[in-house]
Structure 1
């Protein structure tokens, strides 16, 4: 009999990611509040979060390719035993067929973007505006450095509070699309801050990316109203130069929902959901600022655009759509 093991992500979760993950957003699986599912006879794990009636998985099964169907099947049985709905977010193109074959409906949800840091520069006409923004922030007195979270924890907490106030009383942090600062795996992340007159006015947190396109994920980034225009670009450029000097391969910008939507989709897709997701880029700014995010990422001239997929099991009713969107804090 197979025994299902469910635990909080710990050192075993890090081991599974390092060994099997090539998902640019894979490290987000270790966010606090997530759980990891394992079976004794398979080397690897599935990471998920329980939200109401849903088990929402992040990324595909983190295991060798031949074991993915079996690990997914075990997870489906686990969920059915608990009478839970199943969905999976941020699936890569090589994971999506496993879900389609496993009885999931699979729809593209957006795209992830990455910059190849091999020989990367901001030279040339296409980067004029970006260089000017960075220069403006530096002239305004912005100073940038890499720090340990413990050195600036109070400053980061205050920036987060002020950032949420600026976003409004109904602001939500979307689950499964952003990481976090702090927690048990903070020592594996990188944190860069920008200061004006010694006061921290913005930060960017980077999470490790494993696999063939290894590097860093430009993850959580926030600023306060005192930060000069171009502050976030300047912080990122400082980090890019440091990563490049260290021989880093790629800087990933992660998933932007509703962007890069392709007609090349799976037979198991839901056509109504595909239509809805395509329209949300143009008309869904109140739900998620996809266009603003995309413009920030495109200004760095990404070399890679990777489709991201959403998968779910069962009949997709209007109630299930709204329930899923609520579960990931989109509404």
Structure 2
């Protein structure tokens, strides 16, 4: 069995070319710290991180139809030969069906959300409160600029200050999440877009957008942070500015990314799913704010009235496993 290999260019080619699953978060495969599995005589890649006795796989195989099943089979065999198990997260609906047919227990874990920019407008009474927050941030001196990748180093210290201040509000033991959220910097930065908010030339917030491929191509509202205690409406104003830029460029979709425990629907579960794990996801939606602030994350996304809800799934190599579920969060640096 071949060993894993790692090549950013190889992964980028795969997620651009193999878009059958329509995964709006596919660019996260290029995060530093990921490992990449390939195999001879197959076309495509599997991206994962090891956490304890689990290989936590991001999305399904980014592979053509002829290689998809075989690449998955070899990856599972690679794990089993080393005494490890596989758990896949952020699988799309097409992936979920393929994994279920290959012996995995598959459950919905949450959803991602998207706005059709071809029809989006902030006009109308439903957006009155949002417009007021944006206007207030602008009256308080907010200026929003898109930072070119070549110029990002000029703002590096300011971005680091935002990150440190933001993380400081999360508690003494808080960690910056990884794996299922994006990054800033590195070779992949040239493919992302960064919008920075400043007041009196001091950085106060930013949003990083990652490219989305496939039939709903566009940009994904990814990593976003702000200084605590600043003007209300900072993030809303930065995102509104980005939307204006994307709309002028005729970008079709703005994606808001994956939020666990949201958009759960028993009608979206597959045959053979785990009822007990389904119960756990609904329980965490109601009571799991300390694990992940799903309700506040969804509230921000719903401000923009997304028209599209995209269910996302978790797949367990065998029975649904609380240990495997916990190791997803371990792979994300949550604990």
* TM-score where L is the length of structure 2: 0.94
Instruction: Name which of structure 1's ranges 192-201 and 80-89 shifts more when overlaid on structure 2.
Output: 80-89
CA pair 268-37 structure 1, distance change in 2 beyond 3 A = same
Instruction: Give secondary structure in 2 for the equivalent of 1:100.
Output: helix
The reply to whether residue 29 of structure 1 matches residue 29 of structure 2 is: yes
Specify the alignment match of 1:211 in structure 2: 214
Alignment of 1:170-249 (within 5 A): 170-225=173-228, 227-249=230-252
The reply to whether residue 300 of structure 1 matches residue 331 of structure 2 is: no
Indicate conservation of the 8 Å contact 1:113/1:297, yes or no.
yes
CA pair 319-146 structure 1, distance change in 2 beyond 3 A = closer
Aligned length: 329
Specify the alignment match of 2:69 in structure 1: 69
Specify the alignment match of 1:143 in structure 2: 143
Instruction: Give secondary structure in 2 for the equivalent of 1:114.
Output: strand
Gaps of 5+ in 1: none
Gaps of 5+ in 2: none
Q: Distance in 2 between matches of 1:287 and 1:226?
A: 23
Indicate conservation of the 8 Å contact 2:167/2:176, yes or no.
no
Q: Distance in 1 between matches of 2:325 and 2:24?
A: 26
Indicate conservation of the 8 Å contact 2:204/2:226, yes or no.
yes
Specify the alignment match of 2:170 in structure 1: 167
CA pair 323-260 structure 1, distance change in 2 beyond 3 A = same
Give per-residue Cα distances to partners, 1:208-234, cap 9 Å, x unaligned: 001100000100000002531000000
Specify the alignment match of 1:155 in structure 2: 158
CA pair 62-78 structure 1, distance change in 2 beyond 3 A = same
Q: Distance in 2 between matches of 1:5 and 1:319?
A: 25
Q: Distance in 1 between matches of 2:322 and 2:309?
A: 30
Deviation at 1:329? 4.0
* TM-score where L is the length of structure 1: 0.95
RMSD across aligned C-alpha pairs, in angstroms?
1.5
Q: Distance in 1 between matches of 2:323 and 2:54?
A: 13
Q: Distance in 1 between matches of 2:80 and 2:265?
A: 32
Give per-residue Cα distances to partners, 1:137-191, cap 9 Å, x unaligned: 0000000000132231111112111111111112233443211111121110000
Indicate conservation of the 8 Å contact 1:34/1:49, yes or no.
yes
Instruction: Name which of 5, 8, 12 aligns with 1:10.
Output: 8
